[in-house]
Chain A
């Protein structure tokens, strides 16, 4: 669904983009606030409220990457090392997706993941509901909420 104004006036498209970023930021703040007791929400809040450094832009997560040589899963049977490594790789990937995951132990990580997914689902639900409301308001002229 394209906004006809955006083609005539590209400047308004930038405004919409900027607004989209602010909305996303608000959604992340809402997400961080929704679960105060969780490690992921504290990590997310630290990320959101951290003041940017004066000179550098932080591009990547400043925590150093985990050394590949330290196994996360103890080997039980020789010969399934490849499978173990595959699981470890995926656990690491999960750690990068969950805020603060890289500082968590594996059992805590899984617990936090479940809670984080739940919170994300709720956030998506709220945003979808809002989009429906706004859609409805757009098509009905002058109707009060």
Chain B
């Protein structure tokens, strides 16, 4: 196993070992919501990475959808200027 150790030391800093990848991926798995991958299942690193990408994409989509929805709601809602100021401050 010493061969990959020396290789990773002499290579540029972006190369890391399989062991490190697995370790990091298991940490990543912990932040995924349980509906994505059940935490007691042993899943491959590739699967965790895929689910992480999917999760980020779905969060981006949610922001898009909510932005649209908020725009529509603002169209139809009557509010005072103080209410608008509160909402603006919550967003920013």
A contacts, CB < 8 Å to B: 1, 3, 5, 12, 15-17, 19-21, 23-24, 26-30, 33, 70-76, 83-84, 86-87, 90-91, 93-94, 97-98, 105-107, 110, 113-114, 116-118, 120-121, 123-124, 126-131, 133-135, 137-138, 141-142, 144-145
Residues of B within 8 Å of A, CB-based: how many?
A: 54
B43 within 8 Å of A (CB atoms): no
- Are B66 and A72 in touch, CB under 8 angstroms? no
B54 nearest CB across to chain A (Å): 10
**Number of A-B residue pairs having CB atoms within 8 Å of each other in the complex:** 164
- Are B67 and A145 in touch, CB under 8 angstroms? no
Ordered by A's residue number, 16 sampled pairs between the chains whose C-beta atoms are within 8 Å are: A27-B66, A28-B63, A73-B15, A76-B18, A93-B53, A97-B60, A107-B20, A113-B52, A117-B59, A124-B59, A127-B66, A138-B73, A142-B78, A144-B80, A145-B83, A145-B86
